């Protein structure tokens, strides 16, 4: 990051040892470490805020693209309104439309499938019925 070689770092450490002295050097290193940590935290916070602004700008741009694409699709494929509901059979006179066979959706669906409910016998071993029939044979 700062391109400090090991020889330059050793020279700075030696000057700090001579200027500050061996007695106060640990305290000075703690203070320097504290301020370096604070500077890194501020840098991380700045970076996170900047990244958040970039994400929001990209999101707004994508929303604009999606809106334009949605409008284009809606222009190309307009929604066809569903036909009006047929009135109940007793409310009107018979017409050609009511004489046509009606399709009841309930009749078109398949009837429910019935499944045999298993019998539970207290004290019986946990053996499937198919295995019982094979064992008896």
The 10s digit of each residue's pLDDT in 51-100 is 999 999 999 999 999 999 999 998 888 777 778 887 766 555 545 544 55
Contact 28, 16 (CB under 8 A): yes
Return the pLDDT at 51: 95
Return the pLDDT at 127: 60
Contacts 24+ apart (CB under 8 A), 50-57: none
The 10s digit of each residue's pLDDT in 20-47 is 888 988 999 999 999 999 999 999 999 9
- The continuous run of DSSP H or E covering 131 comes out as helix 129-136
| 119 band by pLDDT with thresholds 50, 70 and 90 | confident
Return the pLDDT at 133: 52
Q: Answer yes or no: is pLDDT of 126 > 70.
A: no
- Listing DSSP states for the chain in one string gives -----HHHHHHHHHHHHHHH-TTTHHHHHHHHHHHHHHHHHHHHHHHHHHHHHHHHHHHHHHHHHHHHHHHHHHHHSPPPPPPPPPPPTTSS---HHHHSPP--HHHHSPPPPP-PPPP--TT-----HHHHHHHH-
Q: Answer yes or no: is pLDDT of 50 > 90.
A: yes
Return the pLDDT at 89: 63
Return the pLDDT at 91: 52
């Amino acid at each position: 990051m700062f391109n400090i070689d090991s020889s330059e770092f050793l020279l700075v450490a030696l000057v700090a040892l001579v200027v500050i002295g061996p007695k106060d050097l640990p305290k000075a290193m703690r203070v320097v470490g504290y301020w370096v940590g604070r500077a890194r935290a501020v840098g991380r916070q700045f970076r996170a805020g900047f990244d958040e602004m970039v994400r929001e700008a990209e999101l707004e741009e994508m929303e604009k693209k999606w809106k334009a694409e949605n409008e284009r699709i809606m222009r190309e494929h307009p929604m066809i309104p569903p036909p009006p509901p047929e009135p109940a059979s007793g409310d009107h006179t018979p017409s050609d439309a009511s004489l046509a066979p009606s399709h009841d959706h309930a009749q078109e669906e398949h009837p429910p499938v019935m499944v045999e409910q298993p019998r539970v016998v207290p004290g019986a071993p946990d053996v499937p019925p198919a295995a019982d029939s094979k064992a008896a044979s």
